[in-house]
A and B are shown apart, each in its own frame.
Chain A
């Protein structure tokens, strides 16, 4: 290889080609993806998350939650995401169009959170107790997750205990700080329950055949 300019042109072209394929390609394919309007419900999905949840997303990023939690339900045939009740359907590109920073995550040291809000909703009807469940989880942790006690603060307890208090010691009670409140709002907002046409499970041909036999 003696020709310097040709050498540079080659390297440049190689990376430009992959950039066109992997950055421009998906942008062309998915960039125009619009919310899906459902006539029956008179709403477009995915819905925009409330402002308080958007602030919670920043706390989620700040603490680095994505280091241990993913936000994607894989297709059938890839793991048992749906058996674990992480979602009734696979995640699709349309689920993420309103997120300014997509945090799919890379490691599942803890459960997937795509439908965390939906799971808690199914388990607990009372919205106050739903929040309480999240606060307790954040404050105490588990043997697999650290406790985020620094997201909570100590307040003098009134005669009427706060509905949000996670613990009470004498005349003091431990209540969530503003950061914990927005984080909980974000976590509770996580749900992808609407079935888009493209999210209908693809039944693998072999499975279909097996069913017919």
Chain B
């Protein structure tokens, strides 16, 4: 099954969108590597506060805000645009249109993120999770987004059949909901901030929906497309898929505020969030049923392996969200590293893994060139699994120890820091492995493009030779 990534039948290759999609993917990988580096620095600072502390640019607050921004708006945004657009184009049975706009949008989006990142380093961060870039960057990103999403809209409206497939629902919903969420958050948190603690509620609504209604649906879209393709098996109980989709869209939108439990907000808000978190179990059940073929082993294919593990992380994360929203656990893990571990499981596992799988599948099909090194793909796969498990497990362990320390009033923060130190050092190792993993992806991607260029030059020379 490795052949799925190394040898692509000519009939499946469509290089018309090669330039713009490669630009998106290249930008995504560049930001992923930077984000990995920043994660390593941030976890070192957690167990060794003096690390880089003398430089005002690199305080933990700055590094953490920067890492989060670079991951979401750099890696996740660019990669999910590329995957969503390719999937929509493929399912519309026609080449993508509006590619000029896509290129311009991509360039301006990445200029905006670069500017935002520099502003964060110089102390302009907003302290609002997932909306750290200063107020003047966001309008640029929103306009760029309109250009980037155009090919997706054209592919949806110009599709050859009226009937639609689950991949299209998830991808289109994600592309549609992102500007909705993003513009509302800009207005209600930055331009004309709502009053007092309502800010915390809106911020929780935004940051959780950004993950559960924008990023994760794109990973699911990729899984719905690739699991039947690669496993050679049909989707189980597909007639439940619409129910799973609408459960996610209706209930996930409410569950962000569960982290505000016990806080200075009206109690109905976290209560409603906890209820809707539990209702989402139905969505996870449908995903598990539909994509069972993808869950039962990768059959030696790294593409399917990435998707299987991503789905496992998605389901595990969903169940963990429910379990740890019960009051006994919620009070213990609140304000610890544990929710960070849950977030990492969602972002690095449930989102990134299926996207890696999709990139390994898509890139040869848009460039017409096979991945040059199967070894690097295997290295990426192995290091990613190891890195994810070590990072998430050790942060969860650190959070648990920290939560127990916090709940004993006599335990000082110096003691808690000493107790969490070994766990955080393990988390640094995990982040280091993930950085190496993304470097493997980066090197392979660059080599692929180098090979594609050489191929192009050779065929041109051959054609010129034939003409003369």
Selected from B169, B202, B263, the residue in CB contact (under 8 A) with A22 is B202
Over the window 70-95 of chain A, the binary record of Cβ atoms lying under 8 Å from chain B Cβ atoms (1 yes, 0 no) is 10101101111001100000111111
Q: Are A146 and B53 in contact (CB under 8 A)?
A: yes
Q: Is B297 an interface residue (CB 8 A)?
A: no
| Chain B residues closer than 8 Å to A25, beta-carbon distance | 269
Nearest CB on A from B198, distance (A)? 4
Q: Is the CB of B49 within 8 A of A23?
A: no
Beta-carbon contact of B53 and A148 below 8 Å: yes
CB contact under 8 A between A101 and B199, given known A64-B127, A78-B331: yes
Q: In terms of DSSP, what is the predominant structure of the interface of chain B?
A: helix
Q: Which residue of A lies closest to B57 (CB)?
A: A150
Q: Are B195 and A31 in contact (CB under 8 A)?
A: yes
Nearest Cβ on chain A to B269's Cβ, whole angstroms = 7
Digitize B230-262: 1 where CB-to-A-CB distance is under 8 Å, 0 elsewhere. 000000000000100010011001101101111
Interface size on A, residues (CB 8 A): 72
Segment among A4-12, A127-135, A159-167 that sits at the interface with chain B: A4-12
Complex CA distance for A75 and B53, rounded to whole angstroms: 34
Among B260, B261, B417, the residue within 8 A (CB) of A144 is B417
A41 at the interface (CB under 8 A from B): no
Interface members, chain A 16-59 (any B CB < 8 Å): 17-19, 21-23, 25-27, 29-31, 33
Considering the chains assembled together, what is the distance between the CA atoms of A99 and B380 in angstroms?
46
Check if A178 is an interface residue, CB within 8 A of chain B.
no
- Output the least CB separation between A114 and chain B (Å): 10
CB of B264 within 8 A of CB of A90, answer yes
* Nearest opposing residue in chain A for B261, CB measure: A78
Find the B residue at minimum CB distance from A70.
B335
Q: CA A8 – CA B54 in complex, angstroms? A: 51
Stretch from B173-181, B356-364, B365-373 at the A interface: B173-181
What's the nearest-Cβ distance from chain B to residue A1, in Å?
A: 5
Give the residues in chain A near B60, CB-CB below 8 Å.
Answer: 64, 67-68, 146
Residue of A whose beta carbon sits closest to that of B124? A62
- Residue picked from A95, A142, A143, most chain B C-beta under 10 Å: A143
Query: How far apart are the CA atoms of A62 and B242 in the complex, in Å?
Result: 45
Q: Which residue of A lies closest to B66 (CB)?
A: A64
CB pair B331–A7 under 8 Å, yes or no, is no
Residues of chain A within 8 A (CB-CB) of B334 are 74, 78-79
Identify which of A4, A91, A146, A149 contacts B49 (C-beta below 8 A).
Answer: A146
CB of A102 within 8 A of CB of B413, answer: no
* A21–B276 CA distance with the chains assembled, in angstroms: 13
With A30-B197, A67-B65, A106-B129 known to touch, is A15 a contact of B213 (CB < 8 Å)?
yes
Flag if A21 contacts B254 (CB, 8 Å): yes
Q: Are B201 and A26 touching (Cβ within 8 A)?
A: yes
Give residues 44-66 of B contacting A (CB, 8 Å).
45-46, 49-50, 53-56, 59-62, 64-65
Contacts of B53 in A (CB 8 A): 141, 146-149
CA distance A131 to B220 in the complex (A): 54
- The residues of B that contact A21 with a CB separation of less than 8 Å are 254, 272
Query: B199-225, CB under 8 A of A: which get 1 and which 0?
Result: 111101100010001000000000000
For window 369-416 of B, CB contacts with A under 8 Å fall at 402, 406-409, 413-414, 416
- CB of A107 closer than 8 Å to a CB of B: yes
CB-CB under 8 A from B205, the residues of chain A are 18-19, 22-23
Q: Which residue of A has the minimal Cβ distance to B204?
A: A22
- Does B85 belong to the interface (CB within 8 Å)? no
B residues less than 8 Å from A84 (CB atoms): 409
A206 contacts partner chain B, Cβ-Cβ < 8 Å: no
Judging by beta carbons under 8 Å apart, are B263 and A72 in contact?
yes
Residue of A nearest to B164 (CB): A1
Return chain B residues, CB-CB under 8 Å to A27. Answer: 194-195, 198
Cβ contact of A26, chosen from B50, B197, B259, cutoff 8 A: B197
Which residue of chain B is the closest to A103 with respect to CB atoms?
Answer: B127
A79 touches B262 (CB 8 A): yes
Question: Given the complex, which residues of B lie within 8 Å of A10, measured CB to CB?
Answer: 246, 249
Cβ of A201 within 8 Å of any chain B Cβ, yes or no, is no
User: From A97, which residue of chain B is reached at the shortest CB distance?
Assistant: B196
Contacts of A104 in B (CB 8 A): 197, 200, 260, 263-264
Smallest distance from the beta carbon of A44 to chain B beta carbons, Å?
A: 15
List the A residue with the shortest CB-CB distance to B181: A15
**Among A1, A33, A74, A99, residue most surrounded by chain B Cβ atoms (within 10 Å):** A1
In the complex, identify which listed stretch (B288-296, B336-344, B433-441) lies at the interface while the others stay far away: B336-344
- Within 8 Å of chain B (Cβ to Cβ): is A187? no
- Among A79, A92, A142, A144, the residue within 8 A (CB) of B331 is A79
**CA A94 – CA B65 in complex, angstroms?**
28
Residues of A that sit less than 8 Å from B by CB: 1-2, 4, 7-8, 10-12, 14-15, 17-19, 21-23, 25-27, 29-31, 33, 61-68, 70, 72, 74-75, 77-80, 83-84, 90-97, 99-111, 141-150
Q: Which 10 A-B pairs have the closest CB atoms?
A: A64-B61, A78-B262, A18-B253, A83-B409, A144-B417, A146-B53, A62-B123, A74-B262, A146-B49, A108-B335
Which residue numbers of B lie inside 8 Å of A, CB to CB?
45-46, 49-50, 53-56, 59-62, 64-65, 123-129, 156-157, 162-164, 169, 172-173, 176-177, 180-181, 184, 188, 193-202, 204-205, 209, 213, 242, 246, 249-250, 253-254, 256-257, 259-266, 269, 272, 327, 330-332, 334-337, 339-340, 402, 406-409, 413-414, 416-418
Identify 11 new A-B residue pairs, CB closer than 8 A, beyond the known A10-B246, A15-B249.
A14-B246, A18-B205, A27-B195, A31-B198, A62-B123, A64-B60, A72-B263, A101-B199, A102-B199, A106-B339, A141-B50
- What are 30 inter-chain pairs, A to B, with CB distance below 8 A? A7-B172, A11-B173, A12-B180, A15-B181, A18-B209, A19-B184, A22-B201, A22-B202, A23-B202, A26-B265, A27-B198, A29-B266, A31-B198, A62-B124, A68-B60, A74-B331, A79-B334, A93-B196, A93-B264, A97-B196, A100-B193, A101-B128, A106-B339, A108-B335, A109-B46, A143-B49, A143-B414, A143-B418, A149-B53, A150-B54
